[in-house]
Amino acid sequence: MLKPSGGAMVCGIIGDPLQHSLSPWMQRQFAEQLGLDFLYAPFPVATEHLPSAIAGLQALGVRGVNVTIPHKEAVLPIVNELSSRAAAIGAVNTLLFEHGRILGENTDVTGFARALRRHAGAISGPSLVIGGGGAARAILHALANEGAAPIYLANRTLARAEALAAEFPALQLRPLALSQSALSPILGDIQLLVNTSSRGLRGEDHPEIDLERLPQSGIVCDIVYKPLQTPLLAAAKAHGLRCVDGLGMLVEQGAESFRIWTGQLPNAGAVEETLRTWLQTSKL
């Protein structure tokens, strides 16, 4: 196992809570894979301490951090420079401290696109995204960048879907209520269905989605990765549909953050397979 020296590059993750995070394990795997002198630590940060915590990390010489719930949007006023992608999405998940400045990036777009290409091939055709949170914002941009069209956005609160569509007019989103009556007419054309909501984390299903209506060429993706097989994916598999769980996106976005900090892109697929085995055997 890699043993960081006193000169190790230090990175980490800020959020609240962090007990569930797989990022420290994952980032250590990337560093060991490439033989880098690298240390990655969790930094639990309450919302009221966010500005002082980031200033402290910067003063301590930390190279960068991942940003998770609830800070992805709260860090925006603190960042000196946003990438065009992070600015467009309105959320940051990666900070780089360089030359006295704080740079903000969002690697969820790249992570989702790479994972989906690796597990399901090219992204095209009509797509349906469930949810309206930070992950949805990134995935909508990823799908638009990859050429998926049209892109439907369904949320339990229609007004939220409509507001998000209005926020991103260039994406030409089609907002819908998350209801069986609203979704049934379009499901027969959907080539990719993506759940970005937290439904499935505790065994919840999606009664609004009649998977029998999806074409047999359709792909169902759930960004939830614990459990790996959510009720949505189990139902999709039972209908003979191709399924993509959320582990690939998790690893690919982490690999892109690692590249931003170190300049080297690790083999995300190899780390994903190791992590998948550990999750399936309840060792992690």
| pLDDT tens digits, one per residue of 218-247 | 999 999 888 899 999 999 999 999 999 999
Among 3, 72, 226, 283, the one annotated catalytic: 72
pLDDT of residue 16: 95
Average pLDDT, the chain: 93
* Domains identified in the chain and CATH numbers: 9-106+248-280 (3.40.50.10860), 109-245 (3.40.50.720)
Beta carbons of 261 and 96 less than 8 angstroms apart: yes
Using the predicted structure, report yes or no on whether residue 200 has a pLDDT greater than 60.
no
CA distance 282 to 275: 10
110-129 residue pLDDT tens? 999 999 999 998 888 999 99
- Do the bridges between strand 94-98 and strand 127-130 make them parallel or antiparallel, or are there none, so unpaired? unpaired
72 is catalytic: yes
> 243 is written with which tokens?
């399924």
**Phi-psi sector, 90: left (phi>0), alpha (psi -120 to 50), beta:** left
Nearest to 225 by CA among 266, 196, 268, 257: 196
pLDDT of residue 32: 95
Signed CA dihedral, 121, 127, 128, 129: sign only:
positive
177 sits in which H/E element: strand 173-177
- Rounded mean pLDDT of 248-270? 98
